[in-house]
Structure 1
Amino acid sequence: MGFLSDIGGFIMTPLYYAISGILLGWHELLSTFLDPEGGLSWALSIIGLTLVIRIMLIPLFVKQIKSQRNMQLIQPKVKELQKKYGHDRQKLGEETMKLYKDAGTNPFASCLPLILQMPIFFALFRILDQAAKNQSGRGFLTDARATDFAESKIFGKIPISESFWEARTWGPTPDAIVMIVAVILVISMTATTFTTQRQLMSKNMPADAMSGPYAQQQKLLLYILPLVFGISGVAFPIGVLLYWTTSNVWTMGQQFYVIRNNPAPGTPAFKAKQDRDRAKGKDLKGSEEPGAAGPSGEAEGDRRPSVRPQPKRQTKAQRQSGQRPAGGPPQNPNLIKKKQGGGR
């Protein structure tokens, strides 16, 4: 146990310093116009911490999206390999991994942002838990600041370090306000997790990929993850629930933007984008209405093609004398002399 504890401390200690440093930085900034001992300044600091972490994870999110897209696009090839090597699982595994390598994807890359967030999540949980129970700080959070953190209340009523379970069991009577807020945050955390995964499956997965093993994995996660978060959420402090709910909302918005503007080919989102682009093109063409001003400032409907002036008709005497009609083009002198010479 001592060896495992040392390994855990070696991994978590840098996270304690990083998380507490960002948290205190936001708290110092917010304390310029909010009560430094109030729960609102600490709650907003946790939200600020979440935003900083999610911004740092954007490169991984881009890698995750590319990996998910490649996984979707190669599902028909995966099915072909399953039909061809279904009797030989070793060969099937080798050929599948080769296909993943050639496509530049990894079946575990889609879980990478979630996996990397888990140590951060547990580090924040540990900081809040130790501050609430022992008034002891971790990282840059001193014991005095940890005590302020643990005793702070949002709007003077909701302890930031208390959970639904603690509000239900501690004290002579349950703390109804804390329980209600905790339930709202747990439901929000669960709903945003489900919506994010559902959004990916319903809009950004080709029809061929909906029946493959990757789709089965996604369907399993669609229901398992919200269930796990919903059950475990009753033990999370309000501050941790704020972090996880904010992170889920960020993920949902970020994924919505990517699916809308850069969907995978052959998906419902891709077709919807094509329809929007076509409609936008029609709108641009429709804006060029007759009568609109042209480059010269003249209305297009008022323009008329120039008419070439025609010479007036000549009488027989005028043609014989070679007289130039009014408004007509000049006569050819050789033709006039020829006519005057009797046609020689």
Structure 2
Amino acid sequence: MAQLNQLFIWIFEQLKTVVELFVTEPGNQWGLTIVLFTILFNILMLPINLKQMTTMRKQQALQPEVAKIQAKYKNDPQKLQEMQMKLYKENNVNMFGGCLPLLITYPIFIAMFGVFRQLVADGKLTGMRFTPLIPDLAANHNIILSILSVGTMLLSTYITSLKMKGQDNPAAASANRMQYMMAALFGWITYTSNSALGLYWVTGNAFRVIQGLILNNIDKKKSEKVIK
């Protein structure tokens, strides 16, 4: 983990060098560097998110068959699970594929926690002001960032859940419930951690909201073409 932190810090420093060519105020340099890093990371995550969308679309298509299995084996949970897994396997669908982005995003968040803590310890973020909402990137207890963290995370979850609206999908429902609980947890982490981490998380959530809207629109257009 220490090596990963050093890698991220090195990337931050390289990005900051680029930002310095266009921005002179130190606080804005660091703030924009964090935003830029977050956007680039989420762009790299796009293939995984597109795969998630494909998986969810396949799960939707299989819902009629899943409903039949649930009705047939409603009194035999073990057999129900076995047949449902068999159905997904036969159709090359990963039942928990929708959770993959979470399994990557959260460990990276933990790594970033260490990165920003190191940058604060080195004094690089102390006193760095980025917009009126963040008077000091090194300071904690930023209630505005905490609220934005919860709000953007819940909004992202809601947008993602629209794909499964009206569908009885246990995996998707479980993932959504997990997201709601995690939103509260990450809101607290954002509040108790330095503002740099909060900026990273809120920016990432905002990116995922926009991404979700775009992917939903693409998915909707594809569905309309199939219907026509």
Give the alignment's TM-score, normalised by structure 2.
0.86
Within-5 A mapping of 1:28-67: 28-35=17-24, 38-67=26-55
The percent identity for this pair of structures is 26
Q: 1:213 to 1:264 in 2, by over 3 A?
A: farther
Q: 1:127 to 1:223 in 2, by over 3 A?
A: closer
Deviations 1:152-196 (A, max 9, x none): 3336982212110xxxxxxxxxxxxxxxxx222222221111112
Q: Does 2:106 match 1:149?
A: no
* CA deviations over 1:116-159 (Å, ceiling 9, x no partner): 12222111211222333xx3xxxxxxxxxx32234533369822
| Residue 216 of structure 2 corresponds to residue 259 of structure 1 | yes
2 CA distance for matches of 1:14 and 1:96?
Answer: 42
Structure 1: distance between partners of 2:62 and 2:183: 28
Q: Which residue is 1:205 aligned to? A: 164
Distance 2:113 2:136 in 1: 15
Q: Which runs of 5+ in 2 are unaligned?
A: none
- What is the alpha-carbon distance in structure 1 between the residues aligned to residue 177 and residue 131 of structure 2? 39
User: Runs (4+) of structure 1 moved beyond 4 Å?
Assistant: none
What letter matches 1:154 in structure 2?
A: F
Q: Deviations over 1:63-107 (max 9, x none)?
A: 111112222222222222122223333322221111112232223
Paired residues, number: 226
Which of 147, 150, 156 matches 1:196?
156
Partner of 2:59: 71
Bigger Rg over Cα:
1
Counterparts of 2:140 and 2:187 in 1: how far apart (Å)? 13
Shift of 1:206: 5.0
Query: Counterpart of 1:22?
Result: 11
Is the CA contact (8 Å cut-off) linking 1:81 and 1:96 kept in structure 2?
yes
Contact 2:125 2:136 in 1 (8 A): no
The alignment partner of 2:186 has SS state of helix
Indicate how the Cα distance of structure 1 residues 216 and 55 shifts in structure 2: closer, same or farther if over 3 A, else same.
closer
Note the aligned Cα RMSD (angstroms): 2.7
2:115 is matched with 127
Q: Which has the higher contact order (CA 8 A, sep 6+)?
A: 2
> 1:249 maps to what in 2?
206
For the 8 Å contact 1:128–1:150, the answer to whether it is kept is no
Residues 252-306 of structure 1, C-alpha deviation per residue, up to 9 Å, x if partnerless? 11111111122288xxxx5xx67xxx9xxxxxxxxxxxxxxxxxxxxxxxxxxxx
Opposite residue 164 of structure 2, the aligned amino acid is: M
Whole-angstrom CA distance in 1 between matches of 2:173 and 2:107: 27
The answer as to whether partners of 2:146 and 2:190 remain within 8 angstroms in 1 is yes
Taking structure 1 as the reference length, what is the TM-score of the superposition? 0.59
- Counterpart-to-counterpart distance in 2, 1:113 and 1:252: 14
Q: Which residue of 2 aligns with 1:143?
A: none
Partner of 1:235: 192
More helix by share: 2
**Matched ranges for 1:163-174 at <5 A:** 163-164=140-141
